[in-house]
Structure 1
């Protein structure tokens, strides 16, 4: 499943760029942001386990940014940082946000031709 997730994320932005370079660029920026947020959250989670108290990023916030087009970066961040890869409820919501983003994107591109 991990390999399929990376392939899906890697193919998505170029496919969007065929129809809208601006939208693909926006999704690229949001994906980079979300990739960084996953890294920050992983670092905070690791320091919390060692007696430190760092602010964590709410799962809801991660899902909202994924829905806004950042899910390819989130998928890469999940794998690179090995973060948010076990909790089934998070994973299900993550893929729901990705599917909703794909559906909304292609609906927008189809109706705005």
Structure 2
């Protein structure tokens, strides 16, 4: 139960650091890294970061990839739960 919350918090922080880097012209976090964090379970934190920080919320290609990661995560969780019954 705690792992998804930790992953979401980590993902939110990574988004915030990337937003700050974008604003200050510093090294950015790769989008593949952000998507991996989302896929591993940090997608709720990513969604909150997109809404509150207004980061990565306007790029259509990124949003499609984000929602794909959410669907893949939910499908994997559903498959895992299905096999455990």
Place the TM-score, normalised by the shorter chain, in its bin. over 0.9
Distance, in Å, in 2 between the alignment partners of 1:57 and 1:26 is 22
Corresponding residue number in structure 2 for 1:6: none
**1:66 pairs with one of 14, 35, 38:** 38
Distance, in Å, in 2 between the alignment partners of 1:86 and 1:101 is 22
RMSD value, Cα: 0.8
Provide the TM-score with structure 1 as the length reference. Answer: 0.72
Q: Map of 1:1-113 to 2, 5 A cutoff?
A: 24-48=1-25, 54-113=26-85
Structure 2 unaligned segments of length 5 or more: list them: none
Post-superposition offset of 1:44: 0.4
Greater C-alpha radius of gyration: 1
Distance, in Å, in 2 between the alignment partners of 1:101 and 1:82 is 23
